[in-house]
Amino acid sequence: MNFKKSSYSAITCVTVAQLGDGTIGVRDSKVADGPMLSFTADEWAAFVAGVKNNEFDFGTSNMTQTPSVGRICHYVSHGTPVQPDGSQTYTSVCRAAIVTEVSDNAGFGPVVGLCVLNPTGQFFNRGVEQDERTKAGGTWHWPERVS
Ligand SMILES: [Zn+2]
C-alpha cells in the first residue's frame, strides 16, 4: 500500500491510499501502524467534491493566514445609500486591494492599510478590520476560492 499525503502538508497529515479492491484507505501519518478507515470509490468521490467546494474548511484555513505587506485581498465597498424608492446606485461589492501596512488590533486580529483598486480608480484606506464571516462593507477578507 502506498499512502499519500497532501502536497500542502509539510509535516504529519491525513494519508490516503487506493486499496487493491478499489476502496480508499485513510490513515493518520502520526500513527503509522494505527487504524485505517476504508471507503468505497463513490463515498470518496463525494467527500473530495465536498472538499473542493470548501465544505470542510470550517473557517480555519483562511482565518489563520496572517496578512503581510504586498499581499492581495478583497476590500468590501460600502455601496451608496439606499434611496426611498428602494433603489441603490452602487451595491456593496468585493474590490481587489493590496496590503500596504499591517498592525495588530490588540489581539483581535490584524488591521491593515489597503490600496483599493476600483475599476475606475484607486484609493487608500487605513485601519481596515478583517471580516471573513459576514464580509461587511468597509472590511477586508481573503479572496474567495472559485472552483
Ligand atoms: Zn471577496
Dihedral class, residue 92 (left if φ above 0, else alpha if ψ from -120 to 50, else beta): beta
Let me know: does 75 contact 97? Beta carbons within 8 Å.
yes
- In tens digits, the chain (147 residues) has pLDDT values of 788 887 767 677 888 999 989 899 999 888 878 899 999 999 999 998 888 776 776 655 555 678 899 999 999 998 888 888 888 888 899 999 999 999 876 566 679 999 999 999 999 999 999 888 888 899 999 998 876
Radius of gyration of the chain (CA): 21
Identify the pLDDT of residue 2. Answer: 81
Identify the pLDDT of residue 59. Answer: 59
d(CA 91, CA 82): 9
How far apart are the CA of 55 and the centre of ligand 1, in A? 17
DSSP 3-state assignment of 77? coil
How far apart are the CA of 99 and the centre of ligand 1, in A? 14
How far apart are the CA of 6 and the centre of ligand 1, in A? 26
